[in-house]
Amino acid sequence: MLGNTEGKTKDCPVTKEELAYIAGFLDGDGCVMLQLVNRHDYVLGYQIRASIVFYQKAINASFLEGLKGKLKYGYTRIRKDDMCEYTIVGVEPVTEVLKLLSPYLVLKKKQAELALKVLAQMPGKGKRITQKLLLSLAYEVDKFADLNYSKRRTNTSEKLIEFLKSHNLLIP
């Protein structure tokens, strides 16, 4: 847990100034996403995936590794197109990082607010999401298409409804 942001401490190596810089970097070269992901191993067929991704040319991969060292979550990878991604995935890590960065975000402020609203409603570990809650949150996830200028998005609340109907899982 990152905890206190008053200054660098053993528990929190990130200052407020660094958080402001990281938020600016996310605003410019990053993305906050909630996605509806098809899962064949899930009873309801879908899950909501939360992620934060920072992008940079592969030559600057060490910079993203440094961010990872500060934020303490996620992984980096170099793509075939010579880009590097630093990705944070999961309800708890994304929630924690967004809470830290939100006060400093400008361009991604709406995405962060919407993500935090949705993630706050997600069931805790070991608890299953209900059809009603998944569908309600899927409508919220649909809003990310406009906020993130999504072009290739295929999993939507409509697709979830089709799946639930076809598997007799839709509760009226």
The catalytic residue positions are 28-29
The strand order across the sheet containing 75-78 reads: 30-38, 46-57, 83-89, 75-78
CA 147 to chain CA centroid, Å, is 13
Dump the DSSP string for 50-69: EEEEEEEEGGGHHHHHHHHH
Q: SS3 for 172?
A: coil
Element (H, E) at 76: strand 75-78
Contacts of 69 (CB under 8 A, 6+ apart): 13
